[in-house]
A and B are shown apart, each in its own frame.
Chain A
Amino acid sequence: MADNLHFELVSPERLLRSGDVHMVVVPGTEGDFGVLAGHAPFMSTIRPGAIEVYESASSPATRIFIDGGFAEVNDSGLTILAENAVPVAEIKADEVSKKLADAREDVRLAKTDAERAVAEKQVARYEAMQAAAAN
């Protein structure tokens, strides 16, 4: 259908999702953006966060957490390249908060700048995951 947006979610391991949807809201690095059918060609990097997939105009959103990635909108639709994708419903809040605490501990204990940078990235990741799970 012309009114529907062709949406593909791809991870390095496999094609996670491919189909026609109404709208997808993507957490871009410089702000969230919604993509409907007929969107102008667009490319953006993604910060860790939840993408919201609206199957139709009236249905509630399916939320999928992605660990950063890259979005491309062209004539054939929206393609999201993500390294890691988990449906928000499957995120376990207590596990995430435990990992977040671990990551914060790592930041505190980091000896070199490189180690600290890695740990801070982890903290940001789990914080985003927690925020996604809380909503």
Chain B
Amino acid sequence: MATLKSLKLRIASVKSTQKITKAMKMVAAAKLRRAQEAAEAGRPYASRIEAVVASLGARVTPGPQTSKMLTGSGKEETYLLVVCTSDRGLAGAFNANIVKAARLRAQELIAAGKTVKFYLVGKKGGAVIRRLFPGTIIASTEFAGVKQIGFENAAPIADDITARYEAGEFDVAYLYYAKFQSALVQEPTEQQILPVPVTAGGGEVAAGVSAAVEYEPDEEGILADLLPRNLSVQLFRALLENAASEQGSRMTAMDNATRNAGDMINRLSIQYNRQRQAAITTELVEIISGAEAL
């Protein structure tokens, strides 16, 4: 049975925890707004470049000169999984969900006899992947100290991935991040980034609308310039979505934590008051029975 004093200390400690979670929730809410704005501001560029690449990709007939980033390396042996997580924890199941999506895919690929490599962006995914798939991480990046993810943060990573792709280190690349839907819902997303997927639908649209487009230099010259750019943009978008999702997820998690702390304080307070009352009653009974005995 806990003593009165220990109960009191416990209540004080839960109260201070509640203060912290409440503050974190408010900070996350403020950051969420900014991150969400950034994510939304980045969408026009990403969707436009995606549309252009899709229409160009559908028009180019694959030949020996065509960029390998579009046609693939001709094999499907080695897979690179680019896993974007956050650098900080206490964001609910945010990182766990992203890592889980990547893990399931990795296990599936390994079962099919493929080689899997990981490229980690952000600190939090590292521990699990290192334990489950030791020796498969080829690189990892963190954004310690970066307040607002800028395009200059995403571009070097994309350049590195492109260089590794051209060096033949892997054949197919997938990108994992959490797509921001609302503060409550973040969807772990898998996106194929290399080779660039060309949808049949995009081709039809392109053929219908831009039949008479002139290209300068030629289609393949533009593609060669555009594909690396597209990769950095897709990565940048993923990072922005991730940043917004992280804050949303943290906000929800901290809201829950604050509420749980409140419940706990209530429960402990009731216990504390009951015990105090019990102690008083015992004392009274002792005094009364002592007086009666006289």
Contact = CB atoms under 8 A, between A and B. Distances in A.
Interface of A: 10-15, 28-30, 40-45, 70, 72, 74-75, 79, 81, 83-84
Given A30-B216, A43-B216, A15 B52 contact: no
Interface residues of B, number: 31
B215 A11 contact: no
A40 B217 contact: no
Contacts of A74: 209-210, 213
Given A43-B52, A70-B52, A70-B225, A10 B214 contact: no
Contacts of A83: 151, 155, 229
Interface in B213-256: 213-217, 221-222, 225-226, 229, 232-233, 236-237
Given A41-B210, A70-B225, 12 more contacts: A12-B45, A12-B46, A12-B151, A12-B232, A13-B42, A13-B150, A42-B214, A43-B56, A44-B217, A72-B48, A75-B209, A83-B151
A75 B209 CA distance: 9
Interface of B: 38, 41-42, 44-46, 48-49, 52, 56, 150-151, 154-155, 209-210, 212-217, 221-222, 225-226, 229, 232-233, 236-237
Nearest to A14: B41
Contacts of A15: 41, 44-45
B48 A44 contact: no
Contacts of B233: 12
Classify the secondary structure of B's interface with A.
Answer: helix
A72 B52 contact: yes
A81 B178 CA distance: 25
Query: Which A-B residue pairs are the 3 nearest by beta carbons?
Result: A14-B41, A44-B216, A41-B213
A45 B213 contact: no
B217 A29 contact: yes
B221 A45 contact: yes
A69 to B, nearest CB: 8
A25 to B, nearest CB: 15
Contacts of B214: 40-43
Contacts of A42: 213-216
B143 to A, nearest CB: 16
Contacts of A12: 42, 45-46, 151, 154, 232-233, 236-237
A24 B258 CA distance: 55
A29 B221 CA distance: 10
Contact of B38 (A13, A30, A84): A13
Contacts of B46: 12
A41 B209 CA distance: 10
B243 to A, nearest CB: 13
A45 B217 CA distance: 7
A70 B51 CA distance: 13
A45 B225 contact: yes
Greatest chain B CB density within 10 A among A12, A44, A74 is at: A12
Given A11-B151, A42-B214, A45-B221, A70 B42 contact: no
13 contacts: A10-B44, A12-B151, A12-B233, A12-B237, A14-B41, A14-B42, A40-B214, A41-B212, A44-B222, A70-B222, A75-B209, A81-B48, A81-B49
A3 B73 CA distance: 47
Contacts of B48: 10, 72, 79, 81
